[in-house]
Structure formats: C-alpha cells, structure tokens
Amino acid sequence: MSQTSPKYRVAIVGCGGISNAHGNAWRNLPEIEIVGACDEKLEPLKRFSTEYNVQNTYNDLRQMLEKQQPDVLVVATWPSNHLKNVLEAVRWGVKGILVEKPITVNTTQLEQIIQVTERADIRLMEAFMYRHHPLTLAVKQKIEEGAIGEVRYARSTFSTGLMDRRNWRLRGDLGGGAVMDLGCYCINIIRHLVGREPQSVWATGKFEAMNNVWETLIGTLDFGDGLTGQLDCSFGWTWRESYEVAGTDGTLFVQSAWGNSEGESHFTVNGETIRVANGVNPYAAEILDLCRAVETGAPTHLPISDALGNMRVIDALHESAHTGQCIKLPA
C-alpha cells in the first residue's frame, strides 16, 4: 500500500446476494482493487466475477489467500461458516477482516475470533453498513445534543416477506433466524442510541421446529433506571423498517432505517423533518473505514466490542424465547 495513492487489495469469500451490495460499492472506488473472489458454488462465483470484472476466482479460500495475499478479506458466506473463514484469513496474514452480520452464530465463537485476531494484530469489523451512513451519525448527534431530553425508551422494527425455507435465513443449521438476519439491526441501533448495554432481556415469538429457527421474535431490553428498549423482527410479515427514540422532552423517528445510500435521507424530531443531504454508499464507507484503519492504525468506526455486545444480546434473547424466562446479561 503506497502512501501517495493507497490501493487496497480486497478479496471476498461468499458470492451470494449480499456480495452484490459490496461489488457495486467497490467498482466506484479508485482505492479498492478486487484481487479475488471465492465461492464453493460455480454459478454465483461466475456471476460475481463477470459483473465486477474479477480476474482471479477460486472455490477454495485457502488457495485464494495464498495466491492473492489480500490486505482485507470480506466474509459474506453463511454465518455458520464465518468462524472457519476468519481463522483461515488469520493463518494467511490478512491485515483486516470485514464480516457480514451476524458476525458469528454465538458469543463463544465471537470471543474466539476476537482473541485470535487481536493476538495477530488484525483489524476485525462487523458489517453494519448503516452505522457509517450520515443519517445514523446525524440521529446520534441530535440525541447527544439533547434534542429529545433524556432518553427513556427506544424501539425498532424490521420484517420482510421472506418465506422460502431453502434460504439460509430460514435455516438454523446455517445460522439463520429472524434475530440473526433482521433483529441484529434492531438490537444494534437500540444499544447505539441508548449508549449502554442492557442488564436483562425477555423474548417471545414463533419458533419453526422443522428448520430450527425463530421466524418471529419480539424482545424487551431492560437497561436499568427505567430505560427500556423493544424490538420486533419477523420473516413472513409485510416489509417494515423503522426506529423511534422517546425522551423526557420529545421523540425522534426514523422511517427508513437501514437502506439509505446516496441522495437525501431524513428523520423527524418532535414532528419536524430533519433532512440529511450528504448521502453516501454505506458499503463504500465501511470498506474504506476498515482499509484506512489497517493502513494508519486508527480505530475503526465500529469497534469489535460493539459486535460482542450485540451478540450477547442475541444469545440472551434466544435463551429467553426458548425458556420463557427473563435472562440477565453479564455486567
């Protein structure tokens, strides 16, 4: 990586649906050179390499890492494969790893990869792209400025009409489930805007035993001191996405929560519309953030501790939904 015009060598493993969001963002970035793409399945690999003009394609991750020596690996495989993909990347000395959400299937796996990547001095980041968008930054700033007074309650919603049981999102063995794919966003934004970790959680929902997944989950997060968060996420409901924060002096509401890109976005504070003009492609923003952190040693916008907090809540919600009990989180 030269100082004058950094060119970051980026490779991707997993060429399914989400890889297109990354590929589309990278093709407009002069700083990014896509040096390799890997997938066990020939069809998605061929489609991705053709669409984004990737010369070097592999069906074996070890081979790609050995031959291409990327600076950064993007892991866009099924969640059940994330741990082994990250460990392989560590073995071959990559400098940064961006892992699609959910970063692992449980807290134990995440603690393992944090330990291994920290020991190897590798930057590890979970791909919550929306956190890099100016809308999210503006919302957080408004709350910190006291626009709605002291935060007392936050709620978030994410549902899609997905019903295809062959899709990984509806397969427990691949790391699927409503909380894993959708609720992870809801938990993430609530924790981010409240600015602390919940003390306990309670959840209920609809469990699909055949595929071993929670298709629907509704959860309550107790942050203590009368501060509460609530989320609902589901497959098979109509598309819904939003979040709201209520404080002692007003409310803040975001209708389009996760899908903002270039162009204008907006949110409301006490009924007044606040426009955010300077949109960005959040997938471009997150890869550049990680690459710059690798090069300069600066912290990433999303620290890995944030991913750990999120995964602990996901595990606790699942445990609560299964047992019917309120689950306490570690202090």
DSSP result, 118-160? HHTT-EEEEE-GGGGSHHHHHHHHHHHTTTTSSEEEEEEEEEE
d(CA 271, CA 123): 40
Each of the 331 residues of the chain gets a pLDDT tens digit; together they read 444 566 999 999 999 999 999 999 999 999 999 999 999 999 999 999 999 999 999 999 999 999 999 999 999 999 999 999 999 999 999 999 999 999 999 999 999 999 999 999 999 999 999 999 999 999 999 999 999 999 999 999 999 998 887 888 889 999 999 999 999 999 999 999 999 999 999 999 999 999 999 999 999 999 999 999 999 999 999 999 999 999 999 999 999 999 999 999 999 999 999 999 999 999 999 999 999 999 999 999 999 999 999 999 999 999 999 999 999 998 8
Residue 4, pLDDT score: 54
Give yes or no for a contact between 68 and 9, defined as CB atoms under 8 angstroms apart.
yes
The answer to whether domain 131-283+310-328 has CATH 3.30.360.10 is yes
d(CA 105, CA 158): 19
Domain residue extents for the chain: 8-127, 131-283+310-328
The encoded tokens of residue 324 equal 């019917």
Q: Give the residue from 313, 309, 329, 304 showing the smallest Cα distance to 116.
A: 304
Residue 165, pLDDT score: 78
Distances (CA, A) of 48 to 29, 52, 64, 66, 266: 17, 6, 15, 21, 33
Residue 255, pLDDT score: 97
Beta bridge pairs of residue 74: 12, 98
Single pTM value for the model: 0.96
Fold of 8-127: Rossmann fold (3.40.50)
d(CA 111, CA 181): 20
Residue 187, pLDDT score: 99
Q: Radius of gyration over alpha carbons of the chain, in Å? A: 20
Q: Give the residue from 39, 89, 42 showing the smallest Cα distance to 68.
A: 89
**What distance lies between CA 98 and its chain's CA centroid?**
10
